[in-house]
Amino acid sequence: MEAACAPRPWRYGLLAGSYLLFLLLGAAVLAALEGAPEESLRRELRAAAARLLRDHRACLSRAQLEGLLERFVAAGSYGVSGLGNVSGDESWEFTSALFFTASVLTTTGYGHTVPLSDGGKIFCVLYSLLGIPMTMLLLGCLLQHLLPFVSYRPVQYLHMRWGFPLAHVALAHAMLLGLATLGLFILIPAVCFWALEGDWNFLESVYFCFISLSTIGLGDYVPKGSSQPPLHELYEISITCYLLVGLLAMLLTLETAYQLQEVHAVIRFFAPARDSPQEDDDRAEILAGDQFALATVSGTASPDRPMERGAT
């Protein structure tokens, strides 16, 4: 049967225009906030280089200094540091490679460590082509099995046991789950990183946790922990586990929030208008088998038609 849909181009234009304005706003705010610190840091570096050349002008030229600094910067882009004693901070011993692998397969990709050899680059490409879909499949299966226990059954229990409106319970549950995720996987780990990373403050620790679990992975903050071999390996394994479990918790929270009727109202606003009641019936039959829908538990709502606010 041919679907009869009336396009809503003005709503797509509104969505695209809003997103463009959002991008421009973010760029403007960051440019205003970061421009002055960047220029200040540049002046400090130039002043330090000038002092070094002035103190050692008899044996050090500007070309030599700049050449050395370029080597350090280039090595740093590969995760190799030439500063101080870094014998306990190798980038490619097993636990560091495990951390790198987890960051690649979860698409976090901090960029603090990258393959040096051509063989490593080729292997990383081929490994990611297979590993990223496998990671998505694993996370999807885990979500399918965990969502009933984490989201649907608690909501349904409160709805059936106490008679609260299903939509109200779902909204309160999503908010509590979000707060729990924030506390257990952002704030508490941030306190741990704050204590273990000597040069991080609490804000930087929170920033690292959020950047990691949102898979943004800028790489400007990467935990190092203790340089002692046993503790260093344990620390990197713990961070790898945190990254995987925390990502799953974030996905559970987002999937729970996606089922809210408020979210579906926004989606329906931008979706094509359906003129055919038969199309709605056909789509409802397809969605009835969706195990991610609240309807699987309650039998009264589907992900496309969340419970009304006053339903009991």
pLDDT in tens, the chain (312 residues): 444 454 567 777 888 888 889 889 988 998 888 888 888 888 887 887 788 777 777 777 777 777 777 776 766 655 566 665 544 456 677 888 888 888 888 888 877 777 878 888 899 899 999 999 999 999 999 998 998 888 888 888 888 888 888 888 889 999 999 999 999 999 999 999 999 888 899 999 999 999 999 988 877 788 876 666 677 788 889 999 999 999 999 999 999 998 888 888 888 887 766 555 455 544 444 334 343 343 333 333 444 444 444 343
pLDDT at 228: 65
**Closest Cα to residue 148, out of 1, 291, 32?**
291
The two tokens of residue 257 are 């929030």
Taking 3-state DSSP, the helix, strand and coil percentages for the chain, each rounded to the nearest 5, stand at 70, 0, 30
Is the distance from CB of 211 to CB of 227 less than 8 angstroms?
no
Q: Token match 């929030």: residue?
A: 257
Closest CA to 188 of 170, 173, 202, 168: 202
Predicted pLDDT of residue 176: 94
Q: Which of 80, 92, 95 is nearest to 123 (CA)?
A: 92
Alpha-carbon distance of 239 to 189, in angstroms, equals: 10
User: Can you give the pLDDT at residue 133?
Assistant: 92
Written as six digits, the tokens of 104 are 């690649």
Single-letter residue type at 256: T
In CATH, which of 3.40.190.10, 1.10.8.590, 1.10.287.70, 1.10.760.10 is domain 90-312?
1.10.287.70
Task: Using alpha carbons, list the distances in angstroms from residue 303 to 186, 255, 263, 275, 300.
Answer: 29, 11, 10, 20, 10
* pTM of the predicted model as reported, rounded to 2 decimal places: 0.69
What pLDDT is attached to residue 2?
A: 43
Vertex 27: Cα angle to 24 and 33 (nearest 5)? 140
CA angle, 205 as apex, 202 and 206 as ends, to 5°? Answer: 90
Of 241, 239, 254, 251, which Cα lies nearest the Cα of 190? 239
Domain locations in the chain as residue ranges: 16-77, 90-312
CA 250/CA 115 separation, integer angstroms: 29
Residue 77: predicted pLDDT: 57
User: CB burial class (10 A; 0-12, 13-18, 19+) of residue 107?
Assistant: middle
Closest CA to 227 of 101, 72, 81, 120: 81
